[in-house]
Structure 1
Amino acid sequence: MAGKFQLYKDKAGEFRFKLMASNGQIIATSEGYKSKASAMNGIESVKTNAPGAALDDQTLEKK
């Protein structure tokens, strides 16, 4: 089973989403969005941009 996005409203009434792994663990969480449409656009952006995302490892020592 593939991962899934979980869309929900927080206590402040904002829309948020979580990206969940197939084992139920949370992989990523979103910021709060004022509208459901904006949250859905955020999900589509993750789907489009994440597969080719580069890693910026901030833990590496600067030389």
Structure 2
Amino acid sequence: MSPAFKIYQDPQGSWHWQLQAGDGQVMATCGQGFTSRDACMEGVAFVRTVAPLAETQDDEFPTANEGQAGVFIDRSLP
């Protein structure tokens, strides 16, 4: 199964998306609810457009275990 954006409506009527891996694991979610299905789909289209351009900036978010023995943090990604 291929990765997929799954959209759904919550009980309060807001629309959301999840990016799921081929095995169904949730890899990303929208940070907000959308007022309509169309707006949610526009959010998916936006993520598809900008994701290839996004940088990895993990230096700004150090982990609690950083610097401890046995903890490897890969900072080689562009």
TM-score range, shorter chain: 0.7 to 0.9
- In the TM superposition, structure 1's runs of 4+ consecutive aligned residues that sit over 2 Å from their partners are none
Aligned length: 61
Per-residue CA shift, 1:9-42, capped at 9, x if unaligned? 0111100010000111000111200011110000
Q: What is the Cα deviation at residue 52 of structure 1? A: 2.0
Percent identity, aligned pairs only, is 36
- SS of equivalent residue, structure 1 residue 41: helix
TM-score when scaled to structure 2? 0.71
Q: Which gives a bigger RCO, structure 1 or 2 (Cα 8 Å, sep 6+)?
A: 1
Unaligned runs of 5+ in 2: 67-78
In the other structure, the counterpart of 1:59 is 62
Q: Which residue identity is paired with 1:59?
A: P
Q: Which of the two has higher C-alpha Rg? A: 2
Rounded to whole Å, the distance in 1 between the matches of 2:11 and 2:56 is 33
TM-score when scaled to structure 1? 0.86
